Amino acid sequence: MSSGRVDWQAGAGSPLRGELVVPGDKSVSHRAVMLAAIADGTSEIEGFLEGEDTRATAAIFQSLGVRIDAPDPSRRRVHGVGLHGLRGAPGPLDCGNAGTGMRLLAGLLAGQAFESVLVGDASLSRRPMGRVITPLRQMGTRIDAAEGGLPPLTIHANNVLQAIDYELPVASAQVKSAVLLAGLYARGETRVREPHPTRDYTERMLAAFGWPVRFRPGEAVVPGGHALRATAVSVPADFSSAAFFLVAASLVPGSDLLLRRVGMNPRRTGLLQALRLMGADITELDPGEQGGEPVADLRVRHARLRGIEVPEVLVPDMIDEFPALFVAAALAEGRTVVRGAAELRVKESDRIAVTAAALQALGARIVEAPDGAVIDGGALAGGVADSHGDHRVAMSLAIAAQRAAGPVEILDCANVATSFPGFVPLARSVGFGLSSPQAE
Ligand code: S3P
């Protein structure tokens, strides 16, 4: 999706101080556009993430005949066309780098009267889609993929969908959401059960748009054949974007940083618990609610971190935060053990292999396991570290560089714009030593 190669230069900056607001939540922004597009009436979204992933989703709905205005940055006015109002696009629908976009759209488009082809960038084209194809076929979707269940996906027209009772083989909010969105168009009640509860934004947002969904941790039920009513959505700041600053300020001596109005959905905040077990000093201030989601200000001060065995029960609640956790572990005292996190191998990159290799290039001691890693904390040196185009690895390496003994060149960072536009200037504004020469 991103054009042009971007490498960063990073190195020790100053103590991280001040306050900042990170951009809107990616998961919530995707879902807000999707449900608003198939609702009756005009929905207003504020705090929308202006990232490439979520913009790709909005552009797809525009090509499916939905008028979407952007009156201001981070705002969208979506003129919903109703559950059956989408029309087929002339060409393939490009999800860019976004697994969430492709998997949720596969479910939403399964029940349409037209054919759709979903494509993605090189990274997304390597990610497994069998996990959504299997339940969608059980519901009656005719859907084709490339060899090995990889994108592109062709979803044929006029599927007659039947509700299913589906037990997820892996804890995945994306798969759960794909099945629930197909369930809107199915005959009967669609039920999804999860081995471990995952983020429940689809369920919460269906309820906000007036659909009679029932859910509790680990289970969700949607009856088919109702309507969505337009509503106003206020997107909280993305915990996963805040996470980089929580780790960075914990690691850099003298830091004292305030992150404002961060989304605190308990299915997202596993890293907070893991960091506290490591000895981090993070306080939640002024808790409240924004758009039906818990939010709080987070004050983080430098602390000496110790290695831990990351409790496996936290893994789904911090699944996007492992690149940052690996950095914390590489600079902590003692050993950190991560297990039960094999899903990391099929994210935007193989995040176990890519993060381990990049940190090893800076002198970290990390031994990979099939489902995690053992990390012995110590010091980091300067060097060249390759993010392999994975946005979260790139930002995590920028944190590592703040404590490295010499300058660090971080390769292949353009995809940071998928989830965190403006990361470099924001990070610099609170004290990071970081520059993106191609952008200057
Ligand atoms: C997401 C779910 C998670 C997460 C991804 C966003 C979502 O993936 O890693 O960044 O918005 O539903 P899985 O559901 O595949 O674990």
Rounded Cα gap, residues 37 and 41, in angstroms: 9
Q: Look at residues 207, 234, 261 and tell me which one is the last residue of a structural domain.
A: 234
Q: Do residue 246 and residue 208 come from a single domain?
A: no
* Structure confidence at residue 440 (pLDDT): 60
Q: Is the pLDDT of residue 365 over 60?
A: yes
Q: What distances in angstroms separate CA 149 from CA 96, 126, 132, 208, 377, one per listed residue?
A: 18, 9, 10, 33, 38
Q: Measured from the CB, is residue 172 less than 6 Å from ligand 1?
A: yes
Q: What are the pLDDT digits (tens) for 289-335? A: 988 899 999 999 999 999 999 999 999 999 999 999 999 999 999 99
Identify whether residues 123 and 179 lie together within a single domain. Answer: yes
Judgement on whether residues 225 and 245 belong to the same structural domain of the protein: no
Distance CA 411, CA 358 (A): 10
Q: Is the pLDDT of residue 393 over 90?
A: yes
Residues 101 and 86 in one domain: yes
Token pair 């960063």 in the structure block, residue: 8
Residues 371 and 431 in one domain: yes
**Structural domain includes residue 135:** yes
Angstrom CA distances, 317 to 255, 268, 314, stand at 26, 5, 5
| Residue 3 lies inside a defined structural domain of this protein | no
The model's pLDDT over 179-232, given as tens digits with 9 standing for 90+, comes to 999 999 999 999 999 999 999 999 999 999 999 999 999 999 999 999 999 999
CA of 173 to the centre of ligand 1 (A): 6
For the Cβ of 174 lying below 6 angstroms from any atom of ligand 1, the answer is yes
Domain count, the chain: 2
Tokens of 121: 């960038």
In a domain, 1, yes or no: no
Active site annotation includes 69: no
User: Does some domain include residue 427?
Assistant: yes
User: If pLDDT is split at 50, 70 and 90, which confidence band does 3 have?
Assistant: low
Rounded CA-CA distance 26/100 in Å is 9
Give the mean model confidence (pLDDT) for residues 240-263: 98
Verify that 286 and 336 share a domain, yes or no. yes
Of 234, 260, 295, the last residue of a domain is 234
Is 370 inside any structural domain? yes
Give the predicted TM-score (pTM) of the model: 0.97
Percent of the chain past pLDDT 90, that is, above it, reads 97
How confident is the model over 405-429, as a mean pLDDT?
A: 98
- Same structural domain, 64 and 13: no
Are 348 and 371 in a shared domain?
yes
- Tell the residue nearest (CA) to atom 5 of ligand 1: 100
Q: Is residue 224 part of a domain?
A: yes
Residue 302 belongs to domain with CATH number: 3.65.10.10
129 lines ligand 1 (CB under 6 A): no
Q: Which of 319, 322, 393 to mutate to test the pocket of ligand 1 (most atoms within 8 A of CB)?
A: 319
Segment 258-284 shows an average pLDDT of 98
Read off the pLDDT of residues 16-72 as tens digits, 9 standing for 90 and up.
Answer: 999 999 999 999 999 999 999 999 999 999 999 999 999 999 999 999 999 999 999
| Domain assignment of residue 210, given as a range | 26-234
pLDDT at 2: 45
Residue 1 scores a pLDDT above 70: no
Whether 138 and 218 share a structural domain = yes
pLDDT at 341: 98
Same domain, yes or no, for 144 and 263?
no
Query: Based on the domain organization, do 214 and 326 belong to the same domain?
Result: no
